[in-house]
Chains A and B, each alone.
Chain A
Amino acid sequence: MSIELFRYPTYLFFILLLTSMACLVFIFIIHFFVPKVMIKTYFKEPYFSLLEIKLFTGPPYAYMRTAMMMRLAGWPDCGKNRGIPVTAHEVCPVWFQVLSRVFIRIFLTIVALFLFVGVVLAIAFTAFGVW
């Protein structure tokens, strides 16, 4: 068994890294299209703690708030642990709900695949003494 076997998984690793970067560009753009009404209605106490509100408002962590709002838009019952009503998604347009559901699925698949390929390659590289 040779290290050459891992040539294509290695290319896949870098392709997934580049795809992740593309996702970040998309996240940067979509950040400005998160419905304001959703943030005003649900990104406040008592649903979120004061620390979370302060931390995830403005740079550098505001993009994580976008993740939360997109999850809430795509999966209405995901906020029940925080006491967010299951009707939360109704305040945002349908296109945002659909986009959130599609993008989060694609994003998590890419991240999971990236981490999986990374772990497999790391084990292989360690076994071959390359790393």
Chain B
Amino acid sequence: MQNADKLTKLASYGKYGGYILAGVGLAAGCVQIANEDNQQKKNEIFVETIASTTVGVVVGWAVGVFLVSNPVGWGTALVLAAGTAAVIYIAGEFAQSVYTTKGSKVDLVTGLGVNSICR
């Protein structure tokens, strides 16, 4: 029974962690966009935030597909979490770099109305 309580608490911490990671990531991106004067930089931050969030959720779903046939232990779970975090970070940075190189003519922040939300 005590073990069940511990697991329930652990699951709650995991959920809070998910909220914090996603919420803080998006909120931080929004604050950065609001504080930035340069339109180009605003767009770069937007692309990075959206790409990393999307990749995070997509990889999470793919992990779900894998989990049903492969119950994982703590070691594998940690490797999966670290790998996912690395992929999310690299994808965000790379998408920003690709935008800067090839897409800077497209003003996504203004076009999608992000300016009026993050100000």
Contacts and interface: CB of A to CB of B under 8 A. Distances in A.
Interface of A: 3, 7, 10-11, 13-14, 17, 20-21, 23-24, 27, 48-52, 54-56, 58-61, 63-72, 75, 78-82, 104, 107-108, 111, 114-115, 118, 121-122, 125, 130-131
B25 interface: no
B61 A27 contact: yes
B65 A121 contact: no
Interface stretch (B27-35, B36-44, B94-102, B111-119): B94-102
A117 B37 CA distance: 32
Contact of B64 (A23, A68, A121, A131): A68
Contacts of B15: 55, 58-61
Interface SS of A by simple majority: helix
Given A27-B61, A63-B60, A130-B97, A79 B68 contact: yes
Interface residues of B, number: 38
Contacts of B12: 54
Contacts of B95: 13-14, 17
Interface of B: 4, 7-8, 10-12, 14-15, 18-19, 22, 51, 54-55, 57-65, 67-71, 87, 90-91, 94-95, 97-98, 101-103
Contacts of A130: 97, 101
A115 B61 CA distance: 15
Interchain residue pairs A-B with the least CB separation, the first 6: A67-B64, A54-B11, A64-B64, A68-B68, A60-B18, A78-B69
A71 B54 contact: no
A79 B61 contact: no
A64 B67 contact: yes
B22 A71 contact: no
